[in-house]
């Protein structure tokens, strides 16, 4: 999610409002990883209670934890976002020529379609993993006892 954010920073040295949406969404996901899914150093714990407001179609969260825990949660969220930023920056720095080519085209046209994007990155040469097949096959494995 932080690819656009890091690309703008690398290319232009500043962040626009468009990239701020990437940061907001990444922060929300990190918050869910920590507070709802228990996927942080804080362990398999769900923090806060969620309540759906039916007539508004929105959720509100009631904080059911202390300030000390809130600080730990904030640090975990920050760690997730910083790690994602570092990963995105490493990838983009390693593919700087490709980034320059895409940025140049976007400055010219503002929008590029999928086919043009794939042509720009030369998708046949790019080492992009194939998506997983939709139907997974079971593989039989024999275990040899020693």
Residue 37 covered by a domain: yes
SS3 at position 59: strand
pLDDT tens digits for range 2-19: 988 898 888 888 887 877
For residue 117, the 8-state DSSP code is H
DSSP 143: -
Domain residues for the domain of 52 are 3-93
Q: Specify if 141 maps to a domain.
A: no
C-beta of residue 99 within 8 angstroms of C-beta of residue 4: no
- Which pLDDT score, from 0 to 100, does residue 136 have? 56
Specify the CATH number for the domain of residue 39.
1.20.58.760
pLDDT level of residue 133 (50, 70, 90 thresholds): low
Task: Determine the longest span between alpha carbons in the chain, in angstroms.
Answer: 65
Give the phi and the psi of residue 119 in degrees, each rounded to 5: -65, -40
The reply to whether 71 falls in a domain is: yes
Domain count, the chain: 1
pTM exceeds 0.75: no
Q: Look at residue 115 and tell me if it is in a domain.
A: no
Q: Does some domain include residue 35?
A: yes
- Asked whether residue 134 is assigned to any structural domain, the reply reads no
């Amino acid at each position: 999610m932080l690819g656009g954010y890091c690309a703008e920073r690398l290319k232009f040295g500043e962040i626009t409002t468009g990239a701020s949406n990437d940061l907001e969404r990444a922060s929300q996901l990190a918050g869910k990883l920590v507070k709802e899914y228990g996927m942080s150093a804080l362990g398999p714990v769900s923090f806060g209670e969620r309540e759906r407001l039916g007539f508004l179609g929105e959720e509100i969260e009631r904080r059911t934890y202390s300030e000390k825990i809130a600080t730990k949660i904030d640090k975990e969220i920050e760690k997730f976002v910083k790690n994602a930023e570092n990963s995105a920056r490493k990838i983009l720095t390693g593919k700087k020529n490709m980034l320059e080519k895409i940025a140049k085209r976007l400055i010219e046209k503002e929008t590029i379609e999928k086919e043009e994007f794939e042509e720009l990155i030369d998708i046949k040469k790019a080492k992009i993993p194939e998506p997983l097949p939709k139907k997974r096959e079971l593989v039989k494995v024999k275990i040899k006892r020693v």
